[in-house]
Amino acid sequence: MSASSSTVPRDRPVSSRRAGGFSLVELLIAIAACGVLIAVSIPLVLSYHQSAQVTAGGQHVRTLLNQARQLAMNQKGFVCVHLPNPTQMSFYSNSACTGTPWTGTITDAAGHVNLEPGFTLAATADPVFDYLGRALPAATYTITNATTGSTVTVSVYTSGRITIP
């Protein structure tokens, strides 16, 4: 038997300190820190979500206007974009926004394109796209999130360019 193995008893811990684990105070501090982080991040996540919703509504309107522009170029004629009410858009195959609206896969039976639920739309004018893709008059569409009141604008330039500034 060696001398080194008999000097340290095996039934007693080497140090007097507890082995492993966290104290109650340490756990409470960690839980409080997590609570503060969550309390700070929830409003940021909600505002980001609301901002993303109104941006998506603006992108939907921009897509619809680009489809009207493309329709005018494909038909080699005019397409007038009109808002019959704040939640719908219609395309007319003429320069006066009169007659029967154009119907297609994106419209209902009456020729109206419904916007995303919870959004309203206002326009400064009814742009008319020609066979070259130009638009007269220039127009600005304002999309409003009915829940939060936040807005985004979509601009139609006379060159036919459609942007969300």
What is the C-alpha separation between 158 and 70, in angstroms, rounded?
Answer: 15
pLDDT digits (tens, 9 = 90+) for 42-81: 988 888 888 888 999 999 999 999 999 999 999 999 999 9
Question: Per-residue pLDDT averaged across 15-38, rounded?
Answer: 86
The residue length of the chain stands at 165
Q: What percentage of the chain carries pLDDT values higher than 70?
A: 88
* pTM for the predicted model, two decimal places: 0.77
Segments making up each domain of the chain, as ranges: 27-163
- For residue 33, the SS3 value is helix
Amino acid at 54: V
**Could you tell me which CATH number the domain at 27-163 has?**
3.55.40.10
